[in-house]
Copies of this chain bind each other. A is one copy, B any other.
Amino acid sequence: MAESMKGLHRTCRCAEVTKEMVGSKVTLMGWVQKARNKGGIVFVDLRDRSGIMQLIFENGNIDEAGFEKAGKLRSEFVIAVTGTVENRGGAVNENLATGAIELRAESLRILAESDVPPFPIEENSKTKDEIRLKYRYLDLRRPDLQRNIMLKSKVAQLTRKFFTEEGFLEIETPMLGKSTPEGARDYLVPSRIHPGSFYGLPQSPQLYKQLLMCSGYDRYIQIARCFRDEDLRADRQPEFTQIDMELSFVDVDDVIDVNERFLAYLFKEVLDVDVKLPIQRITWQEAMDRFGSDKPDMRFGMELHDVSEVVKDCGFGVFKSALENGGSVRGINAEGQGGMPRKKIDKLVEFAKGYGAKGLAYIAIAEDGTRKSSFAKFMTDEEMDALVQAMEGKPGDLLLFAADKNKVIYDVLGALRVELAKQMDLLDKNEYRFVWVTEFPLLEWNEEENRYTAMHHPFTMLMDEDIPLIESGDLGKIRAKAYDIVLNGNEIGGGSVRIHQNDIQEKMFEMLGFTREAAYEQFGFLLNAFKYGVPPHAGLAYGLDRLVMLMAKVDSIRDVIAFPKVKDASCLMTESPSRVSEQQLEELGLEVEPETEE
């Protein structure tokens, strides 16, 4: 019995009704959150995206037919109701913006009925993910998800407003582009007009935005969809969104300046959080040495201590052999955790092993100053004293050590530091601590391919001081003009100054083991473009989903994406990807390999 809304006009949304409107007649439309008959009066909570309004259906105010209809209302029915706003007869509901008022209904139409939903529409659903995602259209009705989606909309608006006012132009770049094998795996799109040929969906608009600089657009911004066909880790999506920008005639400081002001603006406007400028900057090397991570969480200390010097002559074989193999010994001090039960420490050791550690040495200092340690027997008391002192260990502290190659130690202690902070409840989602990490290594050694690969991408400029290192051959030491912006241990954005000099670009490709032909095969249009006057330029891109996730104080980017995919890159609601018709495949000149047929 779906009735038409013909002749009716909604006055405003539920929570837009104010006390000042008491006595006036309004028409509201929305969903029945709940309906109950209490002493011959039907109470209905009406819900829309703004919030809840209580409706009162009482015989006499509304005609008999209407009252009868009200009695049939069930959760998720869509209704239109006209009535008079009045002060709430019963107790004021402090939890609602409209808790002091209610609407005395005078007429009712049922615009749509509803089956009983498979789970209740409420905050903090306990329903399991699979069900929520299958019925995403119902999940999206829950107020917490609605807040997230509305927050994201606001972030997108403010982002464009800020950068537009800073002289950035919004320019669209193609989705159907060229597939390039460098980097992550592309999603491919077969061409029908050119059978056997494929487009690649963009992993980022990188090359296009550099071309736009070459074309003189000066400052570019786009909130751009990007795609990576990777095996998904917990918090990745096959398609995701970047706030993507590029600027001409700038160096590192210019990019950082405009982006700091952006972040301060955004957090003030959206969360009323003051971001203190300038944001702290630390080099990649410092980040690794102090936090064991290139995305350090600055909300707490527990920094790494290099104790190699202190233990270099001790009798503990694990420490000694690490040092002899060119590694180091480093530790962190979990303050106040000296009383941690042995079983819990063992769990930390297992955790460390998951990150590549062979083990984890520890010293637990009791409140009375006595120590328990996994390696005390290999050390003199003086050595132990010196070690504890180097770690700033006090009674009640737990000292944890890793001894290995530096790379392994960073991984292990960096992860352990965050894990301990979680256990010690040091991570406050209401605290926002930013840090720029700069001077990343330009290259990283790829064991598999036995060559250097670009840590960011092959167009990243090296630091002026490090240009001579190209000739001296110490490629691993070359630092890039690259920068990441890190928030609470999450890389929310990153970028670099680009190479705009032909000779340096050619050397870069040489270092990456590209022949000239291979470089032109893949990036020819960019390299050709750069022959015709390319300005110095630099850029940055934010992961919008992750940024909004942190602003919304939720744990998964799935909670800020309207229609996300699950780990196997499928959509449980639409059941995509799916089989297509033979005709579609034929038109594309493609065959599905028989063994993959279901």
A binding-site residues for B, Cβ under 8 Å: 2, 4-6, 10, 13, 29-32, 47-49, 76-78, 80, 111-115, 117, 136-138, 140-141, 146, 149-150, 152-153, 156-157, 160-161, 164, 169-179, 181, 185-201, 208, 211-212, 214-218, 225, 227, 229, 231, 238-239, 241, 248-249, 251, 464, 500-503, 525, 529-536, 561-563, 565, 568-571, 573-581, 584, 587-593, 595-598
| B-chain residues with CB within 8 Å of residue A597 when the two chains form the complex | 196
Given contacts A194-B570, A500-B112, A591-B590, contact A153 B171 (CB under 8 A): yes
Contact A189 B176 (CB under 8 A): no
Integer count of this chain's copies in the complex: 2
Query: A155's closest neighbor in chain B, by CB?
Result: B170
Contact A179 B580 (CB under 8 A): yes
Given contacts A140-B215, A189-B189, contact A5 B562 (CB under 8 A): no
Contact B214 A137 (CB under 8 A): yes
* Residue in B194, B229, B251 whose CB lies within 8 Å of A192: B229
Contact A112 B535 (CB under 8 A): yes
Other than the known A115-B531, A173-B563, what 12 A-B pairs have Cβ atoms closer than 8 Å?
A2-B500, A4-B464, A5-B249, A5-B536, A13-B218, A137-B525, A149-B217, A156-B170, A171-B562, A172-B562, A185-B587, A195-B592
| B-chain residues with CB within 8 Å of residue A534 when the two chains form the complex | 78, 112
Given contacts A157-B164, A239-B175, contact A596 B592 (CB under 8 A): no
Please measure, in the bound complex, the distance between the C-alpha atom of A597 and the C-alpha atom of B84, giving whole angstroms.
73
Interface centre among A2, A201, A225, A590 (most CB of B within 10 A): A590
Given contacts A178-B578, A198-B580, A532-B76, contact A218 B48 (CB under 8 A): yes
Please measure, in the bound complex, the distance between the C-alpha atom of A115 and the C-alpha atom of B272, giving whole angstroms.
51
| B-chain residues with CB within 8 Å of residue A117 when the two chains form the complex | 532
Contact B578 A589 (CB under 8 A): no
Contact B593 A589 (CB under 8 A): yes
Query: A145's closest neighbor in chain B, by CB?
Result: B215
15 A-B contact pairs sorted by A residue (CB < 8 Å)? A76-B532, A137-B532, A172-B561, A173-B562, A173-B563, A176-B239, A177-B571, A185-B192, A185-B584, A187-B189, A188-B190, A189-B189, A198-B578, A212-B562, A591-B591
Q: What are the nearest 3 A-B pairs in CB distance?
A: A114-B533, A140-B215, A195-B596
Contact A593 B591 (CB under 8 A): yes
| B-chain residues with CB within 8 Å of residue A565 when the two chains form the complex | 174, 176
Contact A197 B579 (CB under 8 A): yes
* Residue in B13, B241, B249, B576 whose CB lies within 8 Å of A178: B576
| B-chain residues with CB within 8 Å of residue A501 when the two chains form the complex | 2, 112
Contact A212 B140 (CB under 8 A): yes
| B-chain residues with CB within 8 Å of residue A239 when the two chains form the complex | 174-176
| B-chain residues with CB within 8 Å of residue A214 when the two chains form the complex | 137
Contact B535 A578 (CB under 8 A): no
Query: A149's closest neighbor in chain B, by CB?
Result: B171
Contact A112 B217 (CB under 8 A): no
Query: A192's closest neighbor in chain B, by CB?
Result: B229
Contact B581 A181 (CB under 8 A): yes
| B-chain residues with CB within 8 Å of residue A201 when the two chains form the complex | 175, 189
**A156 to chain B: closest CB distance in Å?**
5
Contact A199 B576 (CB under 8 A): yes
* Residue in B2, B150, B169, B190 whose CB lies within 8 Å of A190: B190
Please measure, in the bound complex, the distance between the C-alpha atom of A590 and the C-alpha atom of B160, giving whole angstroms.
41
Contact B574 A178 (CB under 8 A): yes
Please measure, in the bound complex, the distance between the C-alpha atom of A562 and the C-alpha atom of B207, giving whole angstroms.
13
| B-chain residues with CB within 8 Å of residue A178 when the two chains form the complex | 571, 574-578
* Residue in B76, B181, B576 whose CB lies within 8 Å of A176: B576
Contact B170 A577 (CB under 8 A): no
* Residue in B115, B185, B533, B578 whose CB lies within 8 Å of A197: B578
Query: A536's closest neighbor in chain B, by CB?
Result: B5
Contact B137 A217 (CB under 8 A): no
Please measure, in the bound complex, the distance between the C-alpha atom of A191 and the C-alpha atom of B188, giving whole angstroms.
9
**A147 to chain B: closest CB distance in Å?**
11
Please measure, in the bound complex, the distance between the C-alpha atom of A271 and the C-alpha atom of B439, giving whole angstroms.
46
* Residue in B208, B464, B569, B591 whose CB lies within 8 Å of A193: B569
Contact A533 B31 (CB under 8 A): yes
Contact A578 B193 (CB under 8 A): no
Query: A587's closest neighbor in chain B, by CB?
Result: B185
